Amino acid sequence: MRKIVLGFGLIMGLMLMSFSCSTTSPKANADKTEVEEAVVDTTQVEVKNEKEQLVKISTDYGDLIVKLYNETPLHRDNFIKLAKDSFYNGTLFHRVIANFMIQGGDPQSKAAVPGAMYGNGGPGYTIPAEFNEKLFHKKGALAAARMGDGQNPERRSSGSQFYIVQGKTYSNMELNQMEQRAGSRIAPEHKEVYMTQGGTPFLDLMGYTVFGEVIMGMEVIDKIAAVKTASGDRPLKDIKMTVELIED
């Protein structure tokens, strides 16, 4: 399996980006990849109508407290399982783009070597998309990376790789232009958030599963997003993470 990362391109002169698989900078053309062979078993997932699970992602730049959404039970339960198994511990935020997002979740990055690119790894399965129009790419949103539509028409999510949105604020005119070019609407209440708090609204129009949000530690996102990076957007200094569940 080749690299599963987030790839990006300009759309109609705006900084509109699409997630796909790329071995180059997000500003370059996206590479093509193969779909992972195994898939998650959806028959074993139980929808829980209860308080959202909280997760702590710890880094040298501080801690992020993340709330997992019950509205996306497949992604929620998968993330919980991986956290319980210490899957993420020692992995890197291996791709960082200022004013956009920070990405991690590749188990191969545990044995990171200088200059190497990461984004190939995962648990060996993908997860069915769980789109919910109420869940959107505001600043702090936790969402699943995936391969591009050409190789992944069902828009299935990577089994482990995720990104956390930093984004930027947008004007009402910019948001209206995005809607016109995409032929799709952004909810008025979401527009208000994008104009005041920021985010990546173009991703709402492209089909990526949002399954949680940062509720504490927004400043940590900004600190990580501001680090110096090499070609391919890997931070020059490794940013390791530890992920653990917060129990009541």
CATH number of the domain bearing residue 75: 2.40.100.10
pLDDT on residue 123? 97
pLDDT on residue 33? 32
pLDDT on residue 40? 52
Mean pLDDT of the chain: 84
Domain that includes residue 73, residue range: 51-246
pLDDT on residue 120? 84
Q: Is residue 22 part of a domain?
A: no
The pLDDT tens digits for 133-175 are: 999 999 999 999 999 899 999 999 999 999 999 999 999 999 9
Q: Is residue 108 part of a domain?
A: yes
pLDDT on residue 65? 98
Q: Is residue 3 part of a domain?
A: no
Contacts for 15 with CB less than 8 Å, ≥ 6 apart:
none
What residue ranges of the chain have pLDDT lower than 50?
1-38, 42-48
Q: Is residue 95 part of a domain?
A: yes
Q: Please give the tally of structural domains in the chain.
A: 1
